[in-house]
Amino acid sequence: MTSDSEIRALMQEFRQRRIPCDALYFDIDYMEGYRPFTWDPERFSDLPQLLQEMQRKGFRSVAILDPALKVDANYAAYQDGKAQGVFLSYPDGTPFEAAVWAGASRLPDFSAQPVRDWWAEKVAALLARAPFDGLWNDMNEPTVFAGHGPGNPPDYLMHAGDGNPLSHVAGGHNTYGLQMMRATRAGLERAYPQKRPYTLTRAGYAGVQRYGSTWTGDNLATWDHLRLAISMTMHSGLSGMPFTGPDLGGHGGAPDGEQFARWMQLGSMMPYFRNHTVKGTPAQEPWQFGPQIEAIARRYIELRYRLLPYFYSVMAMAHQTGAPFLRPAFFEDRSDPELRNQDDAFFIGDSLFVAPVLEPGATERTVYLPRGAWYDFWANRLIDGARHITVPAPLEAMPMFVRAGRVLPMFPVQQFVGEDAGRELTLRLYAGPGETTVYEDAGEGLGYQQGDYRFSYFTARFFPNGQYGVDWRTAGAFKPTYQSVRVEILGIPMEPGEITVDRNPAPLWFYENSVVEVVTPPFKELRITRRSYDSSLSAETVVRRPPR
């Protein structure tokens, strides 16, 4: 973002067009001469007030923070760093200098705890003056340019290594981004001790997921890179980094409307969702591509917001177990050789299977569906797995499938997280036997570290008397704010004769097109009794069929 007026115009456009948005990112142009810990006093003359205005309107702010500090006698951060001896040096003690965005610059040695503390202090001081909600570390491989000194940090550059000095090639290079993230997160924790710190990094190393999220780097607006985003995100998840994703729409280049729509569809199911493009390329907000593409983008962004309770649960499981958020299909079924090379579809958790469209001009999609019983997310029809299927995929549709017997927790559409304040929870149950675990906490603050969270365990099954039902058990201290639950049960082939909630008649229910909808306070058990029984039509018969 290049000015405060541009930020305000974007906020207005998103809200007027009813396109949900939670965060706007400040790239390097917000700084004064590309100097970290500063901002341009002309283009952002009232930055602190702007950031407070963003918070009031439901927007979070994330600012880029590069490691390179310009060699400048009038630049306070550089002068303080020089006095403290925080910069990388050659073996003879000569400071390393190279060209970066601001020109001749020096790089802090984040391998040393005193330098990380120094950086954290600078971060906290910046946030005290300009209360950004999160920070984005970039250029932290570290990247330098040719033209002033070497084009890359030399292998023999020295890192202090917390008392165990090492050269750049011996590990200083690989761990640089990780150590910078440690320091940046520490600064956020100093500034906001009661908040969950949000950090993003381009570079990292084993363990970087402890300190924040990652993205897959500077990609291109091509169909090849659209496809590549899936395997890169899967690889990151399998490597212990579940919170990651690509620059949607491509960082470089210019997507046409069709490709942009497919980027937004894919991105809506990614752990990390950000539309980002480099300066000098055409703007790519959803409305830049005309009403049809804007409507498609809005549809999938709204779907993402509806699915946030499910996504949050999957990410909580990733934190606790290491199982990725976005998973290759073989992760869920290692016995099926057909899944071992599938890199064009993926799981979110263990219940939702997504098959994005990755080619121009496509109107249908062929995908190998894992074994078991599945529901088409859009058509609500039951499909047998362990086979290749072809489904419609016009521009407005991305094929998605849900395991029979699973519950998808959903919220109403919001323009930003927290706008609705948890008025109502939807539990969408896809008829069949199965179990689902849902995690809940306040979504902000550190209460979860003291046990203020809750697990919900849903067990769906058929009963010998012909009933179908779901039990809801909970464990944990957290008390959600919603007072009403909307239960949608898909795949009920005929109108029920009776629905009971905790053994009492359901207060309000509807039936249409094989979907039962019940509105009720939170419950422990819900039962559906059929009005009549026809085994050839029953969901029970189909989903209980042995897998192929």
Q: What gap in Å lies between CA 302 and CA 399, rounded to an integer?
A: 16
Mode of pairing for the β-strands spanning 484-490 and 424-430 = parallel
Three-state DSSP state, 539: helix
The one catalytic residue in 32, 53, 121, 141 is 141
Q: What is the CA radius of gyration of the chain?
A: 26
User: Got the DSSP string for 205-259?
Assistant: -TTGGGT-EE---S-BSSHHHHHHHHHHHHHHHHTT--S---EET-SBS---HHH
Q: What gap in Å lies between CA 353 and CA 328, rounded to an integer?
A: 10
Q: What gap in Å lies between CA 453 and CA 460, rounded to an integer?
A: 23
How many beta carbons lie within 10 A of that of residue 422, not counting itself?
A: 17
How many beta carbons lie within 10 A of that of residue 96, not counting itself?
A: 21
Active site residue 138: yes
Q: What gap in Å lies between CA 429 and CA 462, rounded to an integer?
A: 13
The one catalytic residue in 40, 109, 138, 488 is 138
Q: What gap in Å lies between CA 245 and CA 232, rounded to an integer?
A: 8
Q: For tokens 């390179």, name the residue.
A: 68
The one catalytic residue in 162, 189, 218, 350 is 218
Active site residue 218: yes
Active site residue 336: no
Task: Kindly compute the dihedral angle of the four CA atoms of residues 153, 155, 156, 162, in this order, to the nearest 10 degrees.
Answer: 80
Task: Indicate the burial class of 16 (C-beta count within 10 angstroms; 0-12, 13-18, 19 or more).
Answer: exposed
Q: What gap in Å lies between CA 471 and CA 525, rounded to an integer?
A: 4
Catalytic residues: 138, 141, 218
